[in-house]
Structure 1
Amino acid sequence: MFIIALLCLVGIAVAQQPHPCTSPPQWEGRIFSSNEKQHDTMRGKISYDATYRRVRIIEDFEVGDDEYAFDILSLFDSGLEFVYDLKAHNCTRRPITEQWRDFGIPQNARSYGEAYIGSSSFPDAGVLITIWGGNFTIPSVNVTLSYVSTWTYKGCLPVSRTVYSDTYGNDVLSIYDVTVGISDPNVFIPRRECLTAEEYTMRQALFGTPNKKN
């Protein structure tokens, strides 16, 4: 049902058969996600780097009546995640157990066509998007989820992702104000509070941008 609802929301499908596009490997933007079943919402700023598989999200998170604020740096190639609590002012370092999930169109995704967000009736009144969906499994909990995601037809920028499972319900993610590239080359270096004195001294060598992808 959520696939039908998404198609109704985004507009009139375009007749031609779409082809997968390639998303920029590095970008920044703002995100909003919600899950009615889990009673949570999240607003944040994201810096995303698919080349070196790392993501930083500064977020305000609400679960029911409880409010939290985190600065989360996930370094998948290093298998490390740094979670800084912006209210408690403490940092937790933990191993990453989940798999990397790219914001590009998965190779096994199924096309649901193209559509306009807004309208194609007037100039600059709408954005043409391409719609793809499928399933993926989270091995750590052995749960299979269904998803539908959208990207802009021009530029292949991520727009939204809806993930559904009987266990977790609908998780709806919106991505907006996207700019291509990384504005601050140091954004993927952990906060000083998350590092030892020795690590902080060597932070560029330990966490700076690698010279090449291994």
Structure 2
Amino acid sequence: MTSSSFQNNRRLLVSPTSCRLIDCSKVCCNYLGSAREGQDWAVAKYRYDAIGQRIRLWEFGQVDNKSFHANMLFLFRKAVVYTIDYRNRTCQKNPLHTAFHPSHIPHNASLLSQVILGGSSAPGEGLLVNTWTGDVPETGGKYLATVTEFGCIPVSTLYYTEKSGWVVTNYFNAVKGIEDPEQFFPPPFCTDADTEEEELDFFSAFF
């Protein structure tokens, strides 16, 4: 790399700051996650509404060598999660035993690195991202989170607890906004669903 191109690339770098998805309070994206050294995996469509504290997941994958499909609606303000089966028109309703955690880089996170994914020789070849690290006191876990410098859009996360090991998640096709707000309402056949005794948390949807 020549001296001039090095100086040009340096201009791409900015001073990173911890970020919240203020401009991305409603996000649509897909993700691919894996755990237990790839033995467990899942692919999902993910809909996130920070203002209404709602999350919708359509997911399929494999856990303990068994395939699964899941369609889940998390309503944190109502402390309830629905597991929805459109084929059989059945609905399971469970208490949601967790608080809503907005997707953001906490202010006490530590910056690990700022890099350009892809190339940096010409405009449009790369994506400027920041990787942050920190602890999760509630679970005794720790994380590495990579987000775009501009927009704070999630790119990937690594989350570790003794129970789960490393859970690797890659995000793609992120879009600001929700194309169909009805996705955050349970279907009519869930109206009379009895509430199960078993409490679930958000990570019940991930392995």
Tell me if both proteins adopt one fold, taking TM over 0.5 as the criterion.
yes
Q: Which bin holds the TM-score, normalised by the shorter protein?
A: 0.7 to 0.9
Residues 38, 169 of structure 1: 8 Å contact kept = no
Q: Which runs of 5+ in 2 are unaligned?
A: 1-11, 194-207
**Residue 173 of structure 2: which of 169, 172, 177 is its match?**
177
> Aligned pairs, how many?
181
Among 135, 145, 148, which residue is 2:144 paired with? 148
Structure 1 residue 38 displacement after superposition: 7.9
Structure 1 segment 101-140 matched on structure 2, within 5 A: 101-138=101-138
Match of 1:194 in 2: 190
Residue 202 of structure 2 aligns with which residue? none
Query: Is the Cα contact below 8 Å between 2:84 and 2:90 reproduced in 1?
Result: yes
Measure the CA separation in 1 of the matches of 2:188 and 2:107. 38
Secondary structure at the residue paired with 1:193?
helix
Structure-2 change in CA distance of 1:180 and 1:98 (3 Å): same
Match of 2:61 in 1: 61
Deviation, 1:137, is 2.8
* Normalised TM-score (structure 1): 0.77
- Give the structure-2-normalised TM-score: 0.79
- Describe the shift of the 1:179–1:18 C-alpha distance in structure 2 as closer, same or farther (beyond 3 A): same
Cross-structure match for 1:210: none
> CA separation in 2, counterparts of 1:55 and 1:177?
17
User: Secondary structure of the residue that 1:186 maps to in structure 2?
Assistant: helix
What is the Cα deviation at residue 107 of structure 1? 2.3
Aligned residues: CA RMSD: 2.2
Q: Is the 8 A contact 1:71 1:83 kept in 2?
A: yes
Contact conserved, 1:37 with 1:168, CA < 8 A, in 2? no
Q: How far off is 1:15 after superposition?
A: 6.8
Contact kept in structure 1, 2:13 and 2:128, CA below 8 Å: no
Structure 1 residues 87 and 40, CA gap change in structure 2 (3 angstroms): farther
Partner of 2:20: 22
Aligned sequence identity (%) = 27
Asked if the contact 1:33/1:43 (under 8 Å) is kept, the reply is yes
Deviations 1:76-118 (A, max 9, x none): 0110100124676532100111232221111221111311111
2:49 maps to 49
Cα distance in 2 between the residues matched to 1:161 and 1:74: 21
Task: Describe the shift of the 1:131–1:187 C-alpha distance in structure 2 as closer, same or farther (beyond 3 A).
Answer: same
